[in-house]
Amino acid sequence: MAPSQGGPALAGWKLSLLAGIGGVLVGALGVSLYFNLRGGAGQAQTEAIVRNYILEHGEILPEAVERMQRRQARAAVLQNREALERPYRSAWAGAENGDVVMVQFFDYACPYCHQINGDVERLLREDNRLKVVWREYPVLGPNSEAAAVASLAAAEQGRWRQFHARMFALGRPTDAVRQQAIQEAGVTLPASPSEAMRTEVTRNAEMARAVGATGTPTFVIGEQVLQGAVGYEALKAAIAEARANRRS
């Protein structure tokens, strides 16, 4: 998965981590800790219990971090649902009013985005109730940024699907590849990025960080956030779960 920058504020991260560790400890220490706390144990005694347990069971820390990250991602998805699922002009495919929307943060320079593109296209062919929304997240340098501008121009001109297909068919987004894709898709490239384009890329980066994206591709499906080229089966399962949750 291609890496990205950014993350939550340190203070908030520490509080969330402590909450995550606390949740794991409640399950791990169970009744013993509960009655110790209810029995009026002092702060030092309680901290000693927790410290000793963590030292002896360090494996709970990754679990706590993972739990914290899932909780934060779910909250961010729910808070940003409308913005996440609203495409930039024509940068979407599938059922316009699909019962499940799969959002993909991607970068044309990301090899893993190229790797999973076929799985996304397969899902679109097989599932006539699915809508896919692509969000530009150019994190891999100048070629990524230039490709994103061309892609957003294509979206504004109703040529996004054609441009997207040619970019993935032609390979990494060098100047030559980008120009060929622009020509073959019939896109007119602006002299400079518009304010709307800049706003879109900035907003996408903010949303990606909010849902915990550590790189590209990152998918948001229902309340799940999937990172990396997870493959056809994982995407299909997440779509099925999101659809089942809508019915429940």
pLDDT digits (tens, 9 = 90+) for 172-200: 999 999 999 999 999 999 999 999 999 99
Compute the distance between CA of residue 244 and CA of residue 248 in angstroms, rounded to an integer: 6
Residue appearing with tokens 């099925």: 240
Tell me which of 1.20.1250.20, 3.40.30.10, 3.40.50.1000, 3.40.50.10300 is the CATH number of domain 84-247.
3.40.30.10
Q: What is the pLDDT of residues 117-136, one digit of tens each?
A: 999 999 999 999 999 999 99
| pTM of the predicted structure, to 2 decimals | 0.77
pLDDT category at 8 given cuts 50, 70, 90 is very low
Residue appearing with tokens 């994206």: 213
Per-domain boundaries in the chain: 6-58, 84-247
What is the pLDDT, as a whole number, of residue 22? 53
Is pLDDT of 33 > 70?
no
pLDDT category at 7 given cuts 50, 70, 90 is very low
Compute the distance between CA of residue 81 and CA of residue 72 in angstroms, rounded to an integer: 14
Q: What is the pLDDT of residues 10-30, one digit of tens each?
A: 344 444 444 455 555 545 555
Number of C-beta neighbours around residue 29 at 10 A = 16
What is the pLDDT, as a whole number, of residue 72? 72
CB proximity list for 26: less than 8 A, separation 6 or greater: 33, 34
Q: Which long-range contacts (CB under 8 A, 24 or more apart) does 196-200 make?
A: 196/152, 196/156, 197/149, 197/152, 197/153, 200/88, 200/136, 200/152
Is pLDDT of 87 > 60?
yes
